[in-house]
Amino acid sequence: MSETVKIMAVAEEPEETLSMNPKKFILWLFVVSIVMLFAAMTSAYLVRRAEGNWLEFEIPSIFWYSTVVLLISSVSMHWAYKAAKKDDFGVLRTAISITFAFGLAFLVMQFLGWQDLVAQNVFFVGNPAGSFMYVFTGLHAFHLISGLIIILFALRAAFKLKIHAKNLNQIEICATYWHFLDVLWVYLFGFLLYFN
Amino acid sequence: MASVETNAAAAAHVEEHDHHEELSFIRKYIFSEDHKVIAKQYMFSGVFWAIIGASLSILFRLQLGFPNLNLEWLRPILGNWIDDSGKLDKEFYLALVTMHGTIMVFFVLTAGLSGTFSNFLIPLQVGARDMASGFLNMLSYWFFFLSSVIMFGSLFIETGPASGGWVIYPPLSALPQAMSGSGLGMSLWLISMALFIVSQLLGGINYITTVINLRTRGMSFSKMPLTIWAFLLTAVLGLISFPVLLSAALLLIFDRSMGTSFYLSEIYIGGEALPNVGGSPILFQHLFWFLGHPEVYIVLLPALGITSEIIATNSRKPIFGYRAMIASMIGIAFLAFIVWAHHMFVTGMNPFLGSIFMFLTLIIAVPSAVKAFNYITTLWRGNIVFTPAMLFSIGLVSFFISGGLTGIILGNSALDIQLHDTYFVVAHFHLVMGAASAFGFLAGVYHWFPKFFGRMMNKTLGYIHFWFTFVGIYLVFFPMHYIGIAGFPRRYYSFTSYEAFRTFGDLNMFVSIAAIFTFAAQFLFLWNFFYSIFRGRKAPQNPWRSNTLEWTTPVNPGHGNWPGEIPAVYRWPYDYSKPGANDDFIPQNVPYSQTPESNLPHENALIALEKEIEAQNYNDQFKQPH
């Protein structure tokens, strides 16, 4: 009897209630919803593509360069986070600014990519193969703009010395979101290359 | 009683801990961040929409039951929707059906039900001061409000609201020239729904975060009330499925306004060929039903959670199979995502694929049956207290079973060929989803009214309301099964031109009379509801002698819910009629060390851990300056 009691007591040890920062948790749930948005889009793409009558075209090569630019911006974002951890404010500001500039550059390059598509006679209106291309890049760009706004807020906080080793929440949220947008683009680009 | 002592002690601290800053009227009641106020805002909006949605159904029931009735007397309200011969305009009939579905599914049973009870009960039952983010919660309501205003406005435009059915299948919904309801009305529908989805996502994200991160000390997942489990899973379903609807709607918007061809291909309209080539209307159905099916459970699960709580409390018995209940809810939530194509058996789907979806669909019967069985066994030999809330919960179980059985019939792909889009389907989902969830909402209102407003609702009126509604709903939807088996398609304006259907005219009239009767009975509830808010009997602190944490707060909880420290939790919420106990209920915040007379051997061993529970870390939002 006492043996069973002991076992049960071990099994029912009081669990710590999870105490992750609620704001960070909220961010992750947002990420889930964005993932589902794009999962739906890419599934729709596959379903539609399987039905045939699919326009084949070259994916603009500038998307290769824009991918590299976005990857670099992720690196500089990580650099900013490291700097914040070390209370290195000068580096922090520079790194966030670089991230912002590369993010902007990415957007411009995506736009140039659209112009390449138009030059190939692939328009938003027409065969869904082309329309999907614009929808994927456009929706991603829309989310990237929201990421840039969050970076601007982080930049302002950095200048007001509100980001430091003891207050990393904002820069962590900002960095997580930015890395996610980066991974999302790599996924979309790889998807478009593979299933073109 | 131990809990009484704790409460008395807490009450003594009210003055010290009472909240300091006074908020302006606007911040307190309109743009409030308090979950209790937001819950009430959702509740009143839900009740408003329910009245609108039900009135629309009465209008088209008049047409179906009395096809020759002169509706001239409705001209002051409906204007030119009554045509020259005094009958309902045919296109407006389609708009009525569409808006009834949209309003009931999304605005009443999704926003009204989850919005009210998730907002209200999650912080109160898990022991939190408020939602994880009060601001996002407020934003969620106001997105919903904006969406409501747009949808409501669309009822009044000249070309009429959206009329392609609540599922808005293209190409009908994608071509503004297809019918008058596909014009501005459809655009407004899409805008309104996009805002609605944003609102649901903001709300759902908040619910999940609160349940996972803001539980009080000792509130482990295995001690959470089943209501909270249901709300959590509902929010997860919404988080995963609503973005998919957003994708579907976005592509539809592009097709409508920018001329893309995601869903359109080779269409002649008015003798003219459209330029759109290469789209697939079936694609929309796949995307839509990937949300559409989980949506059914988004509507139903909160009602089932509320029922679990009410049935256990009023049977004075622990819920039968607590873990089985959680497991079956998780099972239902998981299966909800892999059965969507059973709505599409007749789209020319590969029959082999159809049989897979049929198999998966029929598996849902297993967890559903587990739940139904557990409700009945909880009631079995309990000391049942028939409060109005309890009656509505038992009514829900009845609808859940009788509507669920026809689900097994419809889930068969071979039978669905005959029954697809007939009144059999209408009867099925109105019982299992519509009436059952509405009963969940009503049961919740009756049960938690004392916590919402600090007053009691009138019991007698509640009983009359229950019996009229319960009998009325069966009178409406039972005959519909026969009409459906006879082959009546849904959404048809009139059946008088078909010889075969004429014999069912009297049955349709009977259904319409029953519907009007049931609708009229709801005014008893409305009167009871609004009267009791102001004049109801003052509520005691724990009127139903319930175990969950919300009844340990003051009768009218202020900002932050508990005046003193948030109580810790030591036991599960279903210790009713425990052998040896002094009283027939032991609230969750009573430690085992205070109840030696009723402890089981392993519970005595848990006494040693109470200190550990009390020392646990948890997120108390009042500990940080705010």
Which positions in chain A touch B279 (Cβ < 8 Å)?
48, 128
Q: What pLDDT sits at residue B21?
A: 59
Q: What pLDDT sits at residue B274?
A: 87
ipTM tops 0.90: no
Q: Tell me whether residue A6 is in a domain.
A: no
Q: How confident is the model at residue A18 (pLDDT cuts 50, 70, 90)?
A: low
Q: Tell me whether residue A5 is in a domain.
A: no
| Environment class of B572 (CB within 10 Å of its CB; exposed 0-12, middle 13-18, buried 19+) | middle
Instruction: Write the CATH number for A115.
Output: 1.20.120.80
Q: What pLDDT sits at residue B308?
A: 96
User: A98 vs chain B: nearest CA distance in angstroms?
Assistant: 31
Q: Tell me whether residue B387 is in a domain.
A: yes
The crossing angle, in degrees rounded to 10, of helices B388-410 and B436-453 is: 150
* Domain span including residue B366: 33-345+358-535
Q: What pLDDT sits at residue B390?
A: 97
Mean pLDDT, residues B332-342: 94
DSSP string, A127-180: SHHHHHHHHHHHHHHHHHHHHHHHHHHHHHHHHTT--BTTB-HHHHHHHHHHHH
Q: Tell me whether residue B432 is in a domain.
A: yes
Q: What is the pLDDT of residues B279-292, one digit of tens each?
A: 889 999 999 999 89
Let me know: does B326 contact B226? Beta carbons within 8 Å: yes
Number of domains in chain B: 1
Q: Tell me whether residue A12 is in a domain.
A: no
Q: Which member of A4, A32, A47 has the closest CB to residue B239?
A: A32
Closest CA to B481 of B408, B416, B403: B403
Closest CA to B265 of A51, A14, A190: A51
Q: Tell me whether residue A3 is in a domain.
A: no
Q: What is the pLDDT of residues B145-185, one digit of tens each?
A: 999 999 999 999 999 999 999 999 999 999 998 888 899 99
Name which of B125, B129, B256, B260 to mutate to probe chain A: the one with the most chain A Cβ atoms within 10 A of its Cβ: B260
Q: Do B243 and A4 touch (CB under 8 A)?
A: no
Q: Do B262 and A37 touch (CB under 8 A)?
A: no
Q: How confident is the model at residue A56 (pLDDT cuts 50, 70, 90)?
A: confident
Mean pLDDT, residues A70-75: 96
Mean residue pLDDT across chain A = 88
User: What is the dihedral sign for C-alpha B170, B175, B176, B178?
Assistant: negative
Closest CA to B309 of B537, B506, B97, B549: B549
Q: Tell me whether residue A2 is in a domain.
A: no
Spell out the SS3 assignment of B69-118.
CCCHHHHHHHHHHECCCCCECHHHHHHHHHHHHHHHHHHHHHHHHHHHHH
Which positions in chain B touch A129 (Cβ < 8 Å)?
278
Q: Do B220 and A17 touch (CB under 8 A)?
A: yes
Q: Which member of B205, B262, B278 has the closest CB to residue A26?
A: B205
Q: Do A53 and B278 touch (CB under 8 A)?
A: yes
Q: Do A37 and B261 touch (CB under 8 A)?
A: no
Closest CA to B549 of B135, B92, B324, B228: B228
N-to-C CA span, chain B = 35
Which positions in chain B touch A15 (Cβ < 8 Å)?
220-221
Q: What is the pLDDT of residues B586-609, one digit of tens each?
A: 999 999 999 999 999 999 988 988
Q: How confident is the model at residue B624 (pLDDT cuts 50, 70, 90)?
A: low
**A10 touching chain B per CB within 8 A:** no
DSSP state of B62: H
Helix (H, G, I), strand (E, B) or coil at B538: strand
Q: Tell me whether residue A98 is in a domain.
A: yes
**B242 touching chain A per CB within 8 A:** yes
Q: Do A17 and B215 touch (CB under 8 A)?
A: yes
Instruction: Compute the distance between CA of residue B115 and CA of residue B117 in angstroms, rounded to an integer.
Output: 6
Q: How confident is the model at residue A51 (pLDDT cuts 50, 70, 90)?
A: confident
Q: What pLDDT sits at residue B278?
A: 82
Q: Tell me whether residue B245 is in a domain.
A: yes
In the predicted structure, residue A9 carries a pLDDT above the cut 90: no
Instruction: Compute the distance between CA of residue B340 and CA of residue B331 in angstroms, rounded to an integer.
Output: 15
Residue with tokens 């009998």: B471
Q: Tell me whether residue A154 is in a domain.
A: yes
Q: What pLDDT sits at residue A55?
A: 86
Let me know: does B220 contact B244? Beta carbons within 8 Å: no
In the predicted structure, residue B22 carries a pLDDT above the cut 80: no
The structure tokens listed for B522 are 């709801």
Helix (H, G, I), strand (E, B) or coil at B273: strand
Let me know: does B537 contact B186? Beta carbons within 8 Å: no
Task: Could you list the beta-strand ranges (E) of B173-218.
Answer: none
Number of domains in chain A: 1
* Domain span including residue A65: 18-51+61-194
The structure tokens listed for B491 are 């959404």
In the predicted structure, residue B73 carries a pLDDT above the cut 60: yes
**A53 touching chain B per CB within 8 A:** yes
- Would you tell me which residues 297-326 of chain B have a C-beta closer than 8 angstroms to some C-beta of chain A? none
Closest CA to B466 of B524, B531, B404: B524
**How far are the Cα atoms of B143, B223, B276 from residue B273, in angstroms, in the given order?**
39, 63, 9
Q: Do A22 and B209 touch (CB under 8 A)?
A: yes
Q: Do B209 and A29 touch (CB under 8 A)?
A: yes
In the predicted structure, residue B11 carries a pLDDT above the cut 60: no
| Predicted structure pTM score | 0.92
**A52 touching chain B per CB within 8 A:** no
Q: Do B602 and A131 touch (CB under 8 A)?
A: no
Q: How confident is the model at residue A10 (pLDDT cuts 50, 70, 90)?
A: very low
Instruction: Write the CATH number for B143.
Output: 1.20.210.10
Q: Do B133 and A23 touch (CB under 8 A)?
A: yes
In the predicted structure, residue B317 carries a pLDDT above the cut 60: yes
Mean pLDDT, residues A82-100: 93
